[in-house]
Structure 1
Amino acid sequence: MIFKIQKIYINNISVFLFLPYNIYKGGIILKYGVFLIMLLILMGCSSNSPAGTLSDKDTNPNVNIIKEVEPDWLKHHYLSDNMDRGNHDYYDQVLVIDPTVIPSSYTRGDIVFFSNSTNDQMISRVIALPGEKVSISDGQIFINNKKLDAFYGKAHRLGFDKNSYFPAMDKAGIEYNKEGMMDTFNTSMKERELSENEYFVVSDDWMRGTMQPLEQGDIIGKVLGYQYGYKN
């Protein structure tokens, strides 16, 4: 049997099909569509994310205002600026925390309330889930070698990324340590594989916050938002 090679593109990736000559000669007609569909499935193609990326378009950067606090929820007056995205986010607010959330149900993008190694109570955002591999290269987070495409997926300071921070500070006439800020925006971390009992959390403000693995047992609860009526 004689074969012809047909080149097609799927998600900007070149794919070569080896087609019998009689099929190639007449073109790929409808009855061979099943073959292409199966090929797409096997390749795991996705219309939602480009190849090599992991997207989170569901997490909302805005903070919820909680008007009714359930009896088993916790309230905590938070006085750290590690989650500041330019609006003093979470700082000097009464946070509402749900301690009843099953630890295994936390998802990427959730903000959790936890005790750190010095028993200080902190909040940070879940970046990587149990069993995943996480790394950082020049301020960009990667999960299982895929670029994390999310508003929290790369280094930020006061809500600005590297490309927008310096022009914004210069325009406002605000002094800053350029060398120190470049170090923050170019943060790198070798790949780390999380255990089945670990999450990896990162603060929204990389200069003021923390990035660390966090065991499920250290998580106190999920941050739902601000309590209504206190400075909001």
Structure 2
Amino acid sequence: MKKQWLDWIKAFIIAAVLAIIVRVFLFAPVVVEGPSMLPTLHSGDHLIVSKINYTVGSPERFDVVVFHATEKKDYIKRVIGLPGDHVSYENNQLYVNGEKMSEPFFDEAGAESENGQFDTRNFTIEQLPGANEEVPEGHILVLGDNRNNSTDSRMLGMIPMEQVVGEAIIAYWPMDRIQLIN
């Protein structure tokens, strides 16, 4: 009987250690707060964030990332500009390095936010905090999908890669919103 109890205790300890390793180094659960990523993500959506994706690789344009905005607050936004990119918006059209870019996440969602339209204020990267003519090395430029209601690089400036927690890979709750992100 004593041996059986020891086996159970060992099993629980091993499970706890594995759970801690997975949580700290590989994946993290995140809950979306607020409307800044509508229509892609809704407030209350539960996500799994891969912490390892950017340890072995780097962000790609249009990845959805989680980053430390403050010591106590993480934000979820979409990568628009990568190091070396020149980014601008003119009349709700994204330009990267002078090339007109399609934003398929708007098309797939019917290109509507809560109020029925998107409005990205016209800007050039030179107007954003922390940038000159291009996204600096080791940084990314992020925007929320709901451009009317998003605190993003237009206010925060360029996001250092050290602040990036990881890439959102799957929404798992609520059940009717289960989806792979991107």
Aligned equivalent of 1:99: 51
Aligned equivalent of 2:74: 121
> 1:160–1:117: structure 2 CA closer, same or farther, 3 Å change rule?
farther
The 2-side partners of 1:131 and 1:215 are apart by 14
Contact 2:84 2:135 in 1 (8 A): yes
Shift of 1:205: 0.8
User: Which TM-score applies when normalising by structure 2?
Assistant: 0.65
Say which of 126, 129, 134 aligns to 2:87. Answer: 134
Aligned equivalent of 1:73: 27
Shift of 1:127: 0.8
The 1-side partners of 2:52 and 2:120 are apart by 37
The 2-side partners of 1:109 and 1:127 are apart by 6
Shift of 1:81: 1.8
Q: Aligned pair count? A: 139
Shift of 1:143: 0.4
> 1:131–1:140: structure 2 CA closer, same or farther, 3 Å change rule?
same
Higher share of residues assigned helix: 2
> 1:215–1:190: structure 2 CA closer, same or farther, 3 Å change rule?
same
Q: Secondary structure at the match of 2:149?
A: coil
User: Which TM-score applies when normalising by structure 1?
Assistant: 0.52
Stretches of structure 1 lacking an aligned partner (at least 5 in a row):
1-68, 170-175
Percent identity (aligned): 18
Residue 124 (structure 2) pairs with residue 190 (structure 1): yes
Higher share of residues assigned strand: 1
Stretches of structure 2 lacking an aligned partner (at least 5 in a row):
1-18, 127-133, 176-182
Residue 158 (structure 2) pairs with residue 224 (structure 1): no
Say which of 16, 26, 37 aligns to 1:83. Answer: 37
The root-mean-square deviation of aligned C-alpha atoms, in Å, is 2.9
The 2-side partners of 1:79 and 1:191 are apart by 27
Return the letter of the residue paired with 1:74.
A
Aligned equivalent of 1:211: 152
Return the letter of the residue paired with 1:99.
K
**Deviations along 1:189-223, whole A, 9 cap, x unmatched?**
12341111111111111112133121101101110
